[in-house]
């Protein structure tokens, strides 16, 4: 069965899961910013392991990482759709991309705040014993 856009209708949970994995792959392989965010997430994870974070601290860190990565993926999606429907420059298309990028900035700022709150006391204690 084909939809109006001539793309196949995806049925079944396994097929939908494969599409989701393909979407993550597109975001990671096509966006430098996503790879930077993944590197930051890996760094935060390694630091958390070294500092032996508590369960509640891990919950905050994992949630912050997830929100940033999800917002990066949504930003990529919005950019791709805007480029499709407006291949030539258009001020409103540019504003849509800017708003999507702003959402990533908001998420990353929140994650940085979580990082300061969670990692800060641990690092302060280690530095000033």
Of 48, 23, 29, 19, give the one whose Cα is nearest residue 115.
48
Q: Which residues contact 51 (CB under 8 A, 6 or more apart)?
A: 119, 122, 123, 126
Q: Which H/E stretch holds residue 3? A: none
> What is the CATH architecture of 32-128?
Orthogonal Bundle (1.10)
> What values do phi and psi take at 52, rounded to 5?
55, 60
57 is catalytic: no
Give start-end residues of each CATH 1.10.287.3610 domain in the chain: 32-128
pLDDT score recorded for residue 10:
75
Encode the chain (129 residues) as per-residue pLDDT tens digits.
444 555 677 789 889 999 999 999 999 999 999 999 999 999 999 999 999 999 999 999 999 999 999 999 999 999 999 999 999 999 999 999 999 999 999 999 999 999 999 999 999 999 997
pLDDT score recorded for residue 11:
84
Please tell me which residue in 57, 72, 79, 88 is annotated as part of the active site: 72
pLDDT score recorded for residue 106:
98
Which residues are registered as beta bridge partners of 8? 2
pLDDT score recorded for residue 5:
56
> What values do phi and psi take at 101, rounded to 5?
-65, -35
Range list of β-strands (E), the chain: none
pLDDT score recorded for residue 69:
97
């Amino acid at each position: 069965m084909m939809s109006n856009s001539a793309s196949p209708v995806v049925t079944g949970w396994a097929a939908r899961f494969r599409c989701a994995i393909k979407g993550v792959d597109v975001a990671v392989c096509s966006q430098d910013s996503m790879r930077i965010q993944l590197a930051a997430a890996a760094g935060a994870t390694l630091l958390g392991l070294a500092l032996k974070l508590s369960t509640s601290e891990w919950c905050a860190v994992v949630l912050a990482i997830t929100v940033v990565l999800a917002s990066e993926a949504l930003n990529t999606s919005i950019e791709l759709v805007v480029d499709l429907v407006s291949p030539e420059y258009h001020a409103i298309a540019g504003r849509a991309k800017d708003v999507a990028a702003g959402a990533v900035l908001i998420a990353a700022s929140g994650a940085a705040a979580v990082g300061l709150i969670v990692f800060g006391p641990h690092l302060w204690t280690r530095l000033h014993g």
